[in-house]
Amino acid sequence: MEMNCSTVNSLHLKPSLAFVLPSKSNGIILNNGRLRFRELWKHSMSQATKAFIKDGALRINGREALLSVPENVVVKPSSNESLFLGAVSPEASSRHVFKLGVVKDFKLLSLFRFNIWWMIPRIGRSGSDIPTETQLLLLEAKFNGDGSPQANKPLPFYILFLPVLDGQFRSSLQGNSSNELEFCIESGDPSVKSSKFLEAVLVNYGEDPYGLVKESIKILQERKGTFLPRENKQMPGMLDWFGWCTWDAFYHDLSPQGIREGLRGLSEGGTPAKFLIIDDGWQDVANEFQKEGEPVVEGSYFGGRLVGIRENSKFRSDNPTSEGTSNGLKDFITSIKETFGVKYVNSLQLF
């Protein structure tokens, strides 16, 4: 079935026509202040589907997951139970922030990047509790089962929002003070611009939150074809050995002398490390938003940028205090392998 749709109001048709997506792209224009598409749209999901948009609300398994869904939001089916959310803009840009709808009256869990390399969880009950740079959002919803007399106790199920790569753009989730869920999508390159995103956020649901995440990752792996899930990867050989990561011992205050002392202490204690992970603190980085000696401001970590690929001055031969690094990091690694019997040495790479 094909139909011409003049505006994005096509997302708010009756249930049988609730899911639509463009069949070909011929550009986006503004007409009297309203967003319009010069393209054909195809009906792509039936009434039997348990996820659809109706009357401005995204309904998942009988529950309104998002309210006041904006008209520029695009829905694209992925599988029988999952879908992609995206959005369109009248202007192309390398960075957009789109509203998806209001989230409230849910127990929710966000996994978000609280700095450039680390994720932590946060719980809440509305969209304003969702932090920036959220990489996974899980809502706990309830439904009344099949309507039988035994199904009088609301049963929980879970709705997963998973921001993903869409072409050359990466997406993340965030909330605002109006309890609206937003997704931020950016290329990181001012010359890479777009105005239309069809697969920015995967939405899926199920009764088991752990199985839901695993199933969703499998859907993405089959859809994108750019990665393998953990169970399909071969474990690296170094994990057969006892090892040491420098992060908890030094954080950023890493030095060749400190690494040597740590390896020596492990050997003298009867637990020599056979593999070593040189964590953050060895690369040459700069952060214009974080001054040396000043307290760390939340979010300033995202201003850190790699200055060069070589090691920083602590590990270079031109630094007289860099013990055992006559020719830089390479010689230092050779030295600790010979001295302490380390078999594998890996380093954290930040870009």
Separation between Cα atoms, residue 101 and residue 98, nearest integer Å: 9
> How many CA atoms lie less than 13 Å away from 197 in the CB half-sphere?
36
Tokens at 15, concatenated:
């249930």
Separation between Cα atoms, residue 200 and residue 104, nearest integer Å: 22
Choose from 20-29, 32-41, 86-95, 277-286 the range with maximum mean pLDDT. Answer: 86-95
Q: What is the pLDDT of residues 61-106, one digit of tens each?
A: 888 999 999 999 999 988 768 999 999 999 999 999 999 999 999 9
Tokens at 180, concatenated:
């609206």
Predicted pLDDT at 323: 52
Q: What is the pLDDT of residues 111-148, one digit of tens each?
A: 999 877 789 999 999 999 999 999 999 999 987 555 44
Predicted pLDDT at 46: 33
Predicted pLDDT at 267: 96
Predicted pLDDT at 309: 76
Nearest to 276 by CA among 202, 201, 343, 208: 343
Separation between Cα atoms, residue 330 and residue 93, nearest integer Å: 42
- Whether residue 151 has pLDDT greater than 80: no
- Whether residue 6 has pLDDT greater than 70: no
Mean pLDDT check: name the lowest of 8-12, 149-153, 186-190, 242-246.
Answer: 8-12
316 vs 327, residue with greater confidence: 316
Mean pLDDT check: name the lowest of 22-36, 145-159, 216-230.
Answer: 22-36
The partner residues of 81 in beta bridges, in order of sequence, read none
Predicted pLDDT at 311: 86
DSSP 3-state assignment of 174? Answer: strand
Separation between Cα atoms, residue 350 and residue 180, nearest integer Å: 32
Predicted pLDDT at 155: 81
Q: Quote the percentage of the chain above a pLDDT of 90.
A: 54
- Whether residue 9 has pLDDT greater than 70: no
- Whether residue 28 has pLDDT greater than 80: no
Predicted pLDDT at 350: 63
Predicted pLDDT at 41: 32
Q: What is the pLDDT of residues 264-320, one digit of tens each?
A: 999 999 999 999 999 988 887 777 766 766 666 666 656 667 777 788 888 886 555
- Whether residue 351 has pLDDT greater than 60: no
Tokens at 205, concatenated:
């649901």
Predicted pLDDT at 298: 61
Q: Are 83 and 77 in contact (CB under 8 A)?
A: yes
Tokens at 232, concatenated:
């399909």
Q: What is the pLDDT of residues 226-271, one digit of tens each?
A: 898 888 888 888 888 999 999 999 988 899 999 999 999 999 999 9
- Whether residue 334 has pLDDT greater than 90: yes
Predicted pLDDT at 153: 66
Separation between Cα atoms, residue 176 and residue 130, nearest integer Å: 8
Separation between Cα atoms, residue 137 and residue 134, nearest integer Å: 7
| pTM for this prediction | 0.71
Mean pLDDT check: name the lowest of 1-10, 84-93, 297-306, 329-338.
Answer: 1-10
Tokens at 192, concatenated:
């890479």
Q: What is the pLDDT of residues 177-226, one digit of tens each?
A: 999 999 999 999 999 999 999 999 999 999 999 999 999 999 999 998 88
37 vs 237, residue with greater confidence: 237
CA geometry: angle at 138 spanning 137 and 143, to 5°? 145
Predicted pLDDT at 332: 92
Element (H, E) at 37: strand 34-37
SS in 3 state form for 221-278?
HHHHCCCCCHHHCCCCHHHHCCEEECHHHHCCCCCHHHHHHHHHHHHHCCCCCCEEEE
Separation between Cα atoms, residue 291 and residue 108, nearest integer Å: 36
Q: Are 80 and 161 in contact (CB under 8 A)?
A: no
